[in-house]
């Protein structure tokens, strides 16, 4: 019988083999290119045509966007036409992706929140631009799945809404009629453990454009602060990825344990030359002794804020929406410590920065400048919404336009206004088992009901609200069986007042109704 003999290498042979292997790795070609245009040329050489390409573009608002690469496409590659841009936001007029919108190179956007962009609004309503609005967490997961080779997945986000049911305007006719040319298609749904889930397909792109703080010559990337956001997910989803960075070092200068994105996902690296790092909302702390204070909230809003703060329990991980919910963190009960999550990739969100110290790499979900607290952590957008969907974030407090007696919430489309997108709201309220508190004025400014039997506005989530806190009362929602129970009243408000200002029937807690103003 033939026997194959294996002989261990001698120490000299082993040393020579290691030296050969080491030389092989040391001589690996650098991924660094001298300009964005050169790197983009190499990317375009991998595709049959420069038209109809899909670009996955990192960033959140204007934080962590690849300014240099975007500018190069607008300036050096006018032949790049009819592009689909997959990006959480659409930039602003004349900056970021706004440049490519103004140059007419973008035909379709896949985003969660388009922001304040007049060019975008004009193109969308005028039928020049197709827009697929996608919940923020779903968008991040579609990109992550695309980069992981997973073609589709089921998510509870948007079940029972127009996103799942279809029919939302993707493209208007260009004849000025305002008629819809393309509507969104219904998604496949399936029930798991009694909960409805929506199937979403993964996204892959021809080219990924991302921004990082540091890279080595092998393409390993390190991000800084909340500028990480969608960048790792976009990088993974592209067939050819270009990263622009603020600093380039030699291979080996970044510890393996400090690499946020391995170079296997990155094809080219360029130095950022357009590095304005514009901040959308510079928000700073009032100086001591100036008379300003973020905790001075009076009237009905003050009542709402103070009552909402009573929902905090020691050690909770909490996500707070913009406006009234955010103010609640100023009124933490004595002895209670919470961790604030910002869905753009920060756990441990602290106060606004001191005057003059705002940092473009540290923003919250409202695009405001913030600071991290000791022990904070940053992560990608897909990781952020993974912890939200799995209910690791125990409490969400957000605003509302309408809430139904069944706990349905509508808060992302303002009647008569341009639809900006749902952002992360659908994900925040959609996780089975999550606790959702809505804070809002009891009636609209025009006196119409905001709490009603059925919402008349498009839903953010179906049967998702646990508690409604208004300037007049507190309602408990029965998400399983439907129905509201009045459990607290504002001082000077009667049950008859609530009946008059509420558009649905409700139960009343037994016994004397507690005052929401009581300590």
Query: pLDDT confidence of 15, banded at 50, 70, 90?
Result: low
On whether the CB atoms of residues 261 and 233 are closer than 8 A, the answer is no
Side-chain half-sphere CA neighbours of 203 within 13 A: 27
Q: How many CB atoms lie within 10 A of CB 515?
A: 13
pLDDT > 70: percent of the chain: 92
Residue 209 pLDDT greater than 70, yes or no:
yes
pLDDT tens track for 305-323: 999 999 999 999 999 998 8
Confidence bin at 25 (pLDDT 50/70/90): low
d(CA 379, CA 186): 32
Tell me the domains of the chain and their CATH numbers: 36-151+202-271 (3.40.1080.10), 299-508 (3.40.1080.10)
E strand or H helix that includes residue 214 = strand 205-216
Transcribe 241-255 into DSSP letters.
Answer: EEEEEEEEE-TTSS-
Closest Cα partner for 295 from 332, 246, 341, 253?
Answer: 332
Task: State pTM to two decimals.
Answer: 0.93
Mean pLDDT of the chain: 92
Name the band, by pLDDT with cuts 50, 70 and 90, for residue 228.
very high
Model confidence at 285, pLDDT cuts 50, 70, 90, reads confident
Q: Which residues are catalytic?
A: 343
Rg of the chain on CA atoms, in Å: 26
> What pLDDT shows up at residue 292?
42
Question: What is d(CA 378, CA 244) in angstroms, rounded to the nearest whole number?
Answer: 20
pLDDT band at residue 6 under the 50/70/90 scheme: very low
Q: Any idea which of 414-418, 487-491, 495-499 has the lowest mean pLDDT?
A: 414-418
CB 129 within 8 A of CB 104: no
pLDDT of residue 290: 45
Contact 72, 78 (CB under 8 A): no
What is the pLDDT confidence band of residue 14, given thresholds at 50, 70 and 90? low
Displacement of CA 183 from its chain's centroid (Å): 24
Q: What is the pLDDT of residue 12?
A: 56
pLDDT band for position 29 (50/70/90)? confident
Helix (H, G, I), strand (E, B) or coil at 90: coil
pLDDT of 519 reads 53
Residues 249-266: what's their mean pLDDT? 98
Average pLDDT over residues 467-478: 98
What's the average model confidence in pLDDT over 344-358? 96
Residues 6 or more apart whose CB falls under 8 angstroms from that of 83 comprise 52, 53, 54, 55, 100, 105, 106, 107, 108
């Amino acid at each position: 019988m033939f026997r194959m003999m294996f002989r261990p290498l001698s120490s000299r042979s082993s040393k020579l083999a290691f030296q050969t292997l080491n030389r092989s790795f040391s001589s690996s070609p650098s991924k660094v290119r001298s300009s964005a245009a050169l790197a983009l040329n190499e990317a375009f050489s991998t595709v049959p045509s420069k038209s109809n390409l899909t670009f996955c573009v990192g960033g959140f608002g204007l934080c962590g966007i690849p300014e240099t690469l975007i500018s190069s496409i607008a300036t050096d590659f006018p032949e790049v036409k009819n592009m689909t841009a997959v990006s959480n936001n659409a930039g602003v007029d004349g900056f970021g992706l706004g440049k490519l919108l103004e140059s007419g190179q973008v035909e379709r956007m896949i985003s969660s929140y388009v922001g304040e962009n007049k060019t975008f609004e004009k193109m969308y309503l005028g039928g020049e631009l197709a827009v697929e609005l996608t919940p923020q967490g779903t968008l991040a997961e579609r990109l992550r799945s695309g980069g992981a080779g997973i073609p589709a997945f089921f998510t509870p986000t948007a079940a029972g809404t127009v996103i799942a049911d279809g029919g939302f305007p993707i493209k208007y006719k260009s004849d000025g009629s305002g008629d819809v040319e393309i509507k969104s298609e219904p998604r496949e749904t399936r029930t798991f453990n009694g909960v409805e889930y929506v199937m979403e397909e993964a996204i892959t792109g021809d080219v990924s454009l991302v921004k990082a703080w540091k890279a080595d010559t092998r393409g390993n990337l390190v991000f800084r602060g909340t500028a990480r956001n969608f960048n790792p997910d976009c990088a993974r989803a592209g067939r050819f990825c270009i990263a622009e960075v603020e600093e380039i070092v030699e291979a080996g200068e970044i510890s393996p344990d400090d690499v946020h994105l391995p170079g296997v996902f990155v094809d080219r690296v360029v130095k950022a030359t357009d590095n304005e790092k514009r901040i959308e909302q510079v928000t700073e702390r009032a100086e001591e002794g100036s008379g300003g204070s973020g905790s001075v909230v009076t009237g009905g809003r003050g009542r709402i804020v103070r009552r909402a703060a009573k929902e905090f329990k020691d050690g909770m991980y909490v996500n707070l929406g913009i406006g009234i919910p955010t103010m609640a963190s100023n009124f933490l009960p004595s002895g209670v410590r919470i961790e604030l999550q910002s869905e753009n990739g920060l756990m441990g969100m602290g106060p606004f920065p001191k005057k003059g110290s705002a940092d473009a790499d540290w923003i919250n979900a409202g695009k405001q400048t913030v600071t991290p607290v000791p022990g904070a952590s940053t992560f990608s957008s897909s990781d952020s919404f993974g912890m939200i969907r799995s209910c690791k974030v125990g409490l969400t407090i957000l605003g509302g336009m309408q809430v139904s007696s069944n706990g349905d919430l509508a808060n992302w489309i303002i009647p008569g206004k341009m639809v900006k997108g749902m952002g992360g709201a659908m994900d925040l309220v959609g996780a089975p088992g999550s606790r959702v508190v809505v804070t809002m004025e009891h009636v609209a400014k025009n006196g119409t009901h905001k709490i009603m039997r059925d919402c008349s506005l498009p839903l953010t989530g179906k049967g998702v609200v646990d508690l409604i806190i208004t300037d007049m009362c507190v309602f408990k929602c029965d998400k399983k069986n439907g129905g509201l129970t009045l459990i607290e009243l504002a001082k000077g408000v009667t049950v008859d007042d609530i009946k008059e200002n509420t558009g649905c029937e409700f139960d009343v807690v037994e016994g004397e109704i507690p005052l929401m103003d009581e300590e």
